Amino acid sequence: MTFDSVRFAWPGSARFRLSVAEFSLARGERMLLIGPSGSGKSTFLSLLAGIVTPDQGRVSVLGTDLGTLANHARDRFRAAHFGIIFQQFNLLPYASVVDNVVLPLSFSNTRHARAVASGGQVHTEARRLLGRLGLDTASIDGARASSLSVGQQQRVAAARALIGSPELIVADEPTSSLDRGHQMAFLDLLFADLDAAGTSLIMVSHDETLAHRFTRVVRLDDIATIARGVSA
């Protein structure tokens, strides 16, 4: 995954511009992206995942220039190749745990086929991932996501991102609501599954004490230039 001479400003706004001259993430790399709130991390992730496209330059993932794809094609590409762990988890509150985990497979035949190859059936693979992430599937299998603790919801969100072995996991502050012990336990479980699949990880955080767990730590202001309050 690479950024090359990227410049972006949100449509209709002249107050925020982000520029990235050069950036890359290698296969299997675990990268921690550090930056305070409001520093442009969410904009960077939106460009990385093809939610928005640069005004100038190229964002390439797996050899594909995301800017050359139509909106629907970028959506399909993201569904096939990205697993995303949101800060607030974004689970469907009234759906079951397993139904939340298998949801991404509805949008990608590629990931569906990989999940079947791994588990025989998608629900079997969902339960396997939940078990590897430390959840007792026998006790929560039929439970609604809204009934789970924060730590349990976090693991369900991670299983949802991992199912179907996407090439890249993007995690936006996924440990911010956990205490230190649970943070480390979650990273242990997450990294074990990433290693098994050879998946790359870029995790965004403001918590620099997590740095020792990652193969590379990058500060956003070292790779990106942010301009605020400038004219169009």
Query: Which pLDDT tens digit goes with each residue over 203-217?
Result: 998 888 889 999 999
| Secondary structure of residue 202 in the 3-state scheme | strand
Q: Are 192 and 7 contacting, i.e. CB atoms less than 8 angstroms apart?
A: no
58 falls within a domain: no
Query: Which pLDDT tens digit goes with each residue over 35-55?
Result: 877 778 888 999 999 999 999
* Spatial separation of the C-alpha atoms in residues 118 and 82, rounded to whole Å: 18
| Mean pLDDT of the region 128-137 | 86
130 falls within a domain: yes
CA distances from 57 to 23, 53, 206, 214 (A): 12, 9, 27, 28
pTM of the shown model:
0.88
39 falls within a domain: yes
144 falls within a domain: yes
20 falls within a domain: no
Domain count, the chain: 1
189 falls within a domain: yes
178 falls within a domain: yes
Give the domain extent around 196.
27-53+81-219
Question: What pLDDT, on a 0 to 100 scale, did the predictor assign at position 26?
Answer: 92
The gap from C-alpha 34 to its chain's centroid, in whole angstroms, comes to 15
Residue 89 main-chain phi, psi, to 5 deg: 75, -40
> In the beta sheet, which residues pair with residue 206?
none
CATH number at residue 166: 3.40.50.300
210 falls within a domain: yes
| Mean pLDDT of the region 92-111 | 94
Q: How many CB atoms lie within 10 A of CB 11?
A: 7
* Spatial separation of the C-alpha atoms in residues 162 and 108, rounded to whole Å: 13
